[in-house]
Structure 1
Amino acid sequence: MYLETIILVHTVLFSRIIAFPNLALNGSAIQSSVYRVYGPSRVIDGNRNQIFYGESCCHTAVGQSSAWWRLDLGYSAYIHRVVLYYRKDQPDRLKGYHLYISNSFKENNPNSGHECFHYPMSTNNPTIIQSKTCDWTGRYIVYYNKRDDLEAFVELCEVDVFGCYVGRYGSQCKSRCPVNCNNDTCSIWDGSCASCKEGFKGDRCDQVCDKGTYGINCSTSCTNCKNQSCDHRTGECPTEAGCKAGFHGSKCSKGCSANTYSENCQLQCHCLNGITCNDVNGQCPDGLCDPGWRSNTCSQKCEVGTYGPNCQNTCDNCKYTECNQSNGTCIHGCSAGWKGPKCEIRCEKGTYGPNCQDTCDNCKDTECNQFNGTCADGCSAGWKGSKCDMRCKNGTYGPNCQDTCDNCQETECNQFNGTCTRGCSAGWKGPKCEI
């Protein structure tokens, strides 16, 4: 329970009176040194008697070039005003003092933090009651003095600190700051928030962010979310909606990585030589695709029978017209009449069929159709048939087996040259029994 208050007038749109408690009475104090029994706690005992020997003032040791007194409020507070009551009979020792407010304190570095006030080393003595408006947030109040000689003293008789602990405002700090104030901080006068927690706006942070905005004070936009709809606190885009074309991530704040595009960057493009496509519509520069891909976004694989950049090449000579869509090599080998990795080489003379694996040695001059093996100029001696793959029957010989050896014994002769193998029938002579 605060023991004292100060009544202050604050003007916003009109004047009003607000009483703030003296926070110093709940604090604890230390000082750089102690002269005799004049310790630091005397300064926050509620006794404003400025007569030194009235046992209400502190005193640091003599012979010091610097001296300080520090008040710890226990918690961070918004400090509106600090009132110093100095020793009545030594106003000159008040010259040059500094008043600091901070949220941390080190004895080896007491003169740090926010400087609320500094009284210069002027020729005029200051008044022994110093009332200073600080309007700053902190836990520690430090009175500090430094001299060029050994005449630095702290001889405070009382220090009043008026304001509210963080999270409170209004008369006697009885009201709590609005729940959505950032860091639980609000104006001690009217409770308006200095800034809002993520997802809220307004003087009292009681309004949810408009559609398309989020974060602290609704200051960030989520324009990359599809339909500009996002969580008003975190900015995350709804999973079912996702991101606009060209963006991905939970907040749709990341641009598409190389070779991806569309909503949520879920589609891939295959531009020639890995050149990046437009991350929104996927179009490739100059419309050139990597081998195996086609369309203006280079996102469609080549159809069966085509391959290469933009699928402009065909693999008609491959078996089933199936080839590797990138380099055109035939998957199942070649159709009849062709050979090579891409089946782009015609069968050589004397060969035919799939991959040119068959020969037509029995054709006249070994010339045959490269596809089906039919002999163009007939057969060599001893063979017949469209592919010259049938031996001459007994009693026949020569090209296409068109000659007969009727005069040979039992009509048996060499199928190639017609010479009789068992000799001649009665009445005939000669190698072929033709005489």
Structure 2
Amino acid sequence: VLQKFKVKLNDVANSCVKERRYTISPTIVDVSCDTTVLVKVLTLEGLVAPHVCTIYVSAGRNIALKQRAQQTSTATPMELNKATNAVDGRKEANNNLGYCSHTEQGLRSQEWNVTLAHPSVLYRILVYSSEDDREITGGFTLSTHSSSGNLIEIWRSSAAKDATFEPYDFILLSHLPTQTVKIKGGYGMALSMCEVFVFGEYVCPDLHHGLSCQKRCQCKGHEVCNVATGKCAPGCPVGYYGFQCGLVCNSSCHEDPCLQVSGQCYRCPPGYKGDGCNDDCNSGTYGESCEQICSEFCINECDPIDGYCECSTGYRQPKCTECSQGTYGSQCAMNCSSNCLNRRCHHITGRCGACRGTHIGHNCE
């Protein structure tokens, strides 16, 4: 569904020029338009998901998603409270289901941090803490640091939020390249974060471009290219490249034209990669230009075209997403106990997050 809607700017059809879409997760998609027009109205039309939670415009993408997170201690049970829970894309406040990070309490000041894949310009940070732990999460400090560890900006949070589960919202002003975000609690306090969103964009080295700065510019005279698209100014007509734009792009290029100097395809059909889209995807990758990563919960290799695979216990096909509410186990074929509150349990073990009425125990017997 995320790929079947159209983006319209200022109520003008086909105004999102050279549109590119990057699926971050089953519920998150990045859309980029190559335009310099002042946009006053943004419209999504066509087949749109029945519920749209948030739309971020010109705020960057969540570059903390699935990145390396650490914390100074981990509360028990450790498998449910690990630091990476705060960058898994789920902001729901439920420690019992392993959705949040949680440190121990009563020790020295506790710290949680995430290290970004590349130095990045940050625009905004949202911190969702556990609704059950508001009283021990308020009063923390948040700081940003360069790749060499130098402090860039630091904030002190206000008092704990109320029961509306409103996030702590930090607007960044320096826009200096940042690699690490740190959150530190007061002395003796535990830290509990259900999700930390870090919105920004990678700072690519010279002559590199792409979402992860993994592609080299191919501009004539070694000119710097557009960091998002790799395009060179003034550019060739669509489908042409080379000196005086006299060469035709390879017919294997998928929908988009090729790089204007080398003729390398911008994108390849699902299952293929390489300059001419003639190479099969490497093991563990799939999709257009092999840019998607197979789920870590695949038992065997995933299909190089659509990512389909057999899944580990607690996850379901086609792409090994977590079991839906009320189910768990192998292929999510088992139902949570009817005594679990709201029929919710851990997607692997079946352990209830909470019990109905007077029922007690892991399975609310």
Normalised to the residue count of structure 1, the TM-score between the two structures is 0.34
Q: Which has the larger radius of gyration?
A: 1
Larger RCO, structures 1/2 (Cα 8 Å, 6+ apart)? 2
Q: TM-score, normalised by structure 2?
A: 0.40
